[in-house]
């Protein structure tokens, strides 16, 4: 079936122990802000519209993406069609105005971003302000899920201890209060490293984590103990970056940088196996993560309706059970990995 022919009957999964239900395929908003390539606002809004038309109900954005640009276009795309959707954004970065690029403290990968720079703030007041600022940029009256964005040593290095103290000393309380008041429905962290999420469990309970790149067809490094802990603590996970920053698409990039040789070699083995089996690697990458019981959704980030059509087509590919068994038999996935055919590697 061509993805443009009709609305796709997406399955939904519950977010943690909340009442939220999200489609197992979502739309990520990073590339819509012009990550590494120019994305006209009309194109970004059209991508959101196409996702809605297809039946996708879960949408994610963040203040960092284009320094406010992603929230702007996501809000435009959802404003008159908000009913029945679930929207997540993030806290931890406030935005301050700048006159030009030379005033920015942080390097970035956005083409034509809004005229702002980042100020990291994971404190009680910082998180409350970030949330209010996001509502205004979105032009919406509500956000359903709030993630603490990019806290961890991968982003902050030695400075992370101070930022973690901000979160532990007040930021987490702010999130709890917003949820208890019914202002938001779920809280979590959105990061690229699973280890900090184990630390988060020490702070208290969370509903959902957006983890980019650490549980994909290419790597399953978060399988144990993190995903095991999520099942025990009844916290959901959203798989961000299912193509590992382009590595599985043959771009040679991984973790926002040039891929090391071991990753390139692993991608080649997966490509060869997929070609032999007659299965598009993009289809396998999208469908693989959801076999884990902790996973609620997969969140790719197409930058145009055309790219989204390709994702929708991959989503609907019927992958034979033998393909998944072959992944395990050839040791292309980690031992103990749940597979879509019900088998465990």
Which are the contacts of 125, defined by CB distance < 8 A and separation ≥ 6?
170, 174
> Is 207 a residue of the active site?
no
> Is 122 a residue of the active site?
no
**Cis omega before residue 225 (within 30°)?**
yes
Q: Which long-range contacts (CB under 8 A, 24 or more apart) does 81-85 make?
A: 81/49, 81/52, 82/140, 84/57, 85/52, 85/57, 85/58, 85/59
> Is 65 a residue of the active site?
yes
One digit per residue, the tens of pLDDT, for the chain of length 345 reads: 344 457 899 999 999 999 999 999 999 999 999 998 999 999 999 999 999 999 999 999 999 999 999 999 999 999 999 999 999 999 999 999 999 888 999 989 999 999 999 999 999 999 999 999 999 999 999 999 999 999 999 999 999 999 999 999 999 999 999 999 999 999 999 999 999 999 999 999 999 999 999 999 999 999 999 999 999 999 999 999 999 988 888 888 787 778 889 999 999 999 999 999 999 999 999 999 999 999 999 999 999 999 999 999 999 999 999 999 999 999 999 999 999 999 999
Model pLDDT, residue 182: 97
Which are the contacts of 323, defined by CB distance < 8 A and separation ≥ 6?
277, 279, 284
Q: Give the active site residue among 58, 65, 147, 215.
A: 65
Model pLDDT, residue 310: 96
Q: How far apart are CA 317 and CA 287, in angstroms?
A: 9
C-alpha torsion angle, residues 300, 302, 306, 312 (rounded to 10): 10
Which CATH class name applies to 12-329? Answer: alpha beta
Model pLDDT, residue 253: 79
Model pLDDT, residue 3: 43
Please count the other Cβ atoms lying within 10 Å of the Cβ belonging to residue 29: 28
What element of type H or E holds 20? Answer: none
Q: How far apart are CA 151 and CA 155, in angstroms?
A: 7
Model pLDDT, residue 69: 98
Query: In this structure, are residues 330 and 324 in contact, taking their beta carbons and an 8 Å threshold?
Result: no
Model pLDDT, residue 181: 98
Model pLDDT, residue 2: 43
Query: In this structure, are residues 237 and 208 in contact, taking their beta carbons and an 8 Å threshold?
Result: yes
Q: Give the active site residue among 53, 76, 90, 207.
A: 90
Q: Give the active site residue among 7, 53, 58, 60.
A: 60
Q: What are the residue boundaries of the structural domains of the chain, listed by start?
A: 12-329
């Amino acid at each position: 079936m061509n993805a443009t022919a009709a609305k796709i009957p997406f399955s939904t999964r519950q977010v943690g122990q909340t009442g939220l239900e999200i489609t197992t395929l979502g739309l990520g908003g990073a590339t819509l802000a012009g990550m590494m390539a120019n994305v006209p606002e009309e194109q970004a809004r059209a991508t959101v519209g196409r996702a809605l038309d297809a039946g996708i109900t879960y949408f994610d954005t963040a203040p960092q993406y284009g320094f406010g640009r992603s929230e702007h276009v996501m809000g435009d795309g959802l404003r008159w069609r908000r009913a029945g959707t679930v929207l997540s954004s993030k806290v931890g970065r406030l935005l301050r105005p700048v006159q030009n690029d030379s005033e920015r403290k942080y390097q970035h990968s956005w083409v034509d971003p809004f005229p702002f720079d980042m100020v990291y703030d994971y404190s009680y007041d910082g998180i409350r302000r970030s949330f209010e600022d996001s509502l205004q940029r979105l032009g919406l009256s509500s956000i359903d899920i709030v993630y603490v964005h990019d806290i961890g040593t991968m982003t902050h290095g030695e400075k992370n201890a101070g930022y973690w103290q901000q979160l532990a000393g007040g930021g987490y309380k702010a999130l709890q209060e917003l949820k208890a008041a019914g202002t938001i429905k779920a809280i979590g962290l959105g990061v690229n490293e699973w280890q900090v999420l184990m630390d988060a469990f020490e702070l208290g309970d969370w509903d959902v984590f957006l983890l980019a790149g650490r549980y994909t067809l290419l790597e399953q490094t978060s399988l144990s103990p993190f995903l095991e802990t999520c099942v025990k603590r009844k916290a959901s996970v959203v798989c961000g970056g299912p193509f590992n920053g382009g590595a599985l698409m043959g771009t040679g990039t991984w973790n926002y940088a040039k891929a090391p040789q071991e990753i390139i070699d692993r991608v080649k083995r997966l490509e060869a196996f997929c070609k032999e089996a007659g299965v598009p690697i993009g289809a396998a990458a999208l469908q693989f993560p959801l076999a884990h019981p902790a996973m609620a959704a997969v969140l790719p980030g197409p930058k145009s309706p055309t790219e989204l059509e390709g994702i929708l087509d991959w989503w609907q590919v019927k992958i034979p059970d033998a393909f998944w068994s072959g992944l395990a038999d050839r040791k292309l996935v980690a031992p103990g990995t749940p597979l879509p055919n019900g088998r465990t590697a």
